[in-house]
Structure 1
Amino acid sequence: MPLAAIAQFTSTNILAQNLKICQNFIHTAASKGAVALFLPEASDYISSSVEESLTLCQPVDTSPFVLGLREEARKCALRVSVGIHEPTGDGLKERVRNTSIWINERGEITQRYQKVHIFDVDIEGGPRILESRSTEPGTVLTPPFDTPIGKLGLLICFDLRFPEVSLALRRLGASVLTYPAAFTVPTGQAHWETLLRARAIETQSWIIAAAQVGKHNEMRKSYGHAMVVDPWGKVVAECLEEKEDICFAEIDNQMIARVRREVPLKRRLSVPHLYSNKN
């Protein structure tokens, strides 16, 4: 069975340092025989302000972080899923894009997804993060694509709270869904594992969730607990410590076929039907 590597670490505003950590993950994953490495949301950087983010954000064609990852992926013949920031295409330089890219074993970017659901939270006594002020939301889903671990559907962090997007990718043929994330500590403690297991159960798919962990700056701390959940809703791999870490999981696609055969989910009502006034 193909082996997937799932990482967690603490991004800062020092891109060269973040790159070195991710390159080390690539070497570790390749040395263990993994066919793909999954890195967290915002692996290139986590800033302390909107202004700093706009300064750090670079196009993929010139970003030393992305170019460094691509080269390392090529050297190790390893596929890499990674969350990064990209400039918007409007030229205003007022917001960035939160994207997930897929780098193939030749170091080429072959897939890209722009985060649809933007994270706004203002928890009493907890974090206040208004991503909508600095991030342009995406408008479309990237169709699932073939990989050695199955047909992959790309999602990001806050998308986890919206089951309709995971169900849409499932209907398009996805067997593995990714949620690279930077969950806050309060929301992570309350909902992270529960939501990941729910998405696995309702889509009958593998869920791979790389994660940011620890204190990024004085304003931001992430929950961690990168994990893999199987199509039956069981956590099969997890980074438990609050530190830089990597875990591995064998992705059994025969299990997907078995679960979907044994518990067929044949939906009988669409959303318009649910809200119809007809008797």
Structure 2
Amino acid sequence: MAIAAVGQLCSTASMSHNLALCQILVKKAVDAGAKALFLPEAADYIASSPAESVSLARPMETSPFVLGLRKAAKESALAINVGIHVPASEGKLSNRSCWINERGDIEAVYDKLHLFDYGALKESNSVEAGKSIVPPVDTVVGRVGLTICFDLRFPEIALALKRQNAQIITYPSAFTVPTGKAHWEVLLRSRAIETQAYVIAAAQVGFHNEKRRSYGHSMVVDPWGKVILDLPGEGTEPEIGIVDIDLDYREKVKSEMPLLRRTDVYPEV
């Protein structure tokens, strides 16, 4: 059994400010005895326009935000999963989930496959969609599959990660308030039930600027579909929740209810 921390914060357009918030969460996670800290999508910044978002993106290798978290991970012996932006081709950026191990090394990255084009938010205006599902990475808390936010609505990724024995699936997010109220919990529970994995969804919360507000409710769902963590949806201070990741319990759920797909009838996705 391993202790995991889930961080919730309200990122702004200032990377230095957001790094300071994340460093607070690192300290809280270490004090709680956690082996890994899960941070939200776009923890490095949330801009007020597509143009500003593209202008703020920095390569992983030189980003002060990423370098600061890598240093914190190494000094604290704490693995960190974090959502960031990196420059991509043709004046766009990639929305990336990054796994930093407890030695401060970047061990895996995943670029968001499904972009959020809903209402006034058109992610495709500034973001280049990813091109592949990344194999799960072996970590101090288990075998972790990386996804991001809007990917939550597409079970195919989670099922592909399940087939590669992902014990934990992450959904770092910045859900809007209307979609969060309607769909957040039911989608997270669905992904956990169908994969029989722990689902960890660190979330942005509150008003980032005059145009953008996030739902919060960072959540962890166990392999049976039970919500074992739900942080409040309001609040301006960065906070963490703590959960136990019990991989033996996951194996018990899997053995008691085998999910054997009829791939002779329908193709594997």
TM range (shorter): over 0.9
Partner Cα distance (1:272, 1:256) in 2: 26
User: Hey, what does 1:85 align to over in structure 2?
Assistant: 85
**CA apart distance, 1:269:** 3.3
Partner Cα distance (1:186, 1:140) in 2: 29
The count of corresponding residues between Structure 1 and Structure 2 is: 266
Instruction: Answer whether contact 2:206 2:213 (CA < 8 A) is retained.
Output: yes
* Structure 2 counterpart SS, 1:117: coil
Q: Does the C-alpha gap of structure 1 residues 241 and 160 become closer, same or farther in structure 2, counting only changes over 3 Å?
A: closer
Q: Does the C-alpha gap of structure 1 residues 268 and 26 become closer, same or farther in structure 2, counting only changes over 3 Å?
A: same
Q: TM-score, normalised by structure 2?
A: 0.96
Q: Which runs of 5+ in 1 are unaligned?
A: 123-127, 275-279
**CA apart distance, 1:270:** 6.3
Q: Does the C-alpha gap of structure 1 residues 75 and 270 become closer, same or farther in structure 2, counting only changes over 3 Å?
A: farther
Q: How high is the sequence identity, in percent, across the aligned residues?
A: 54
* Structure 1 counterpart SS, 2:200: strand
Which amino acid is 1:115 matched to?
A: K
User: Hey, what does 2:107 align to over in structure 1?
Assistant: 110
User: Hey, what does 2:4 align to over in structure 1?
Assistant: 4
Partner Cα distance (1:66, 1:273) in 2: 40
Partner Cα distance (1:233, 1:80) in 2: 24
User: Hey, what does 1:55 align to over in structure 2?
Assistant: 55
Partner Cα distance (2:59, 2:51) in 1: 17
* Structure 2 counterpart SS, 1:136: coil
Q: TM-score, normalised by structure 1?
A: 0.93
Please tell me the root mean square deviation across aligned C-alpha atoms, in Å: 1.3
Partner Cα distance (1:205, 1:30) in 2: 24
Deviations, residues 184-218 of structure 1 (Å, cap 9, x unaligned): 00000000010000000000000000000000011
Which amino acid is 1:239 matched to?
A: L
* Structure 1 counterpart SS, 2:157: helix
Given candidates 243, 249, 255, the residue that maps to 1:255 is 249
User: Hey, what does 2:158 align to over in structure 1?
Assistant: 166
Runs of 4+ more than 4 Å apart: 270-274
Deviations, residues 243-272 of structure 1 (Å, cap 9, x unaligned): 232101000001110000000000003685
* Structure 2 counterpart SS, 1:135: coil
**CA apart distance, 1:62:** 1.2
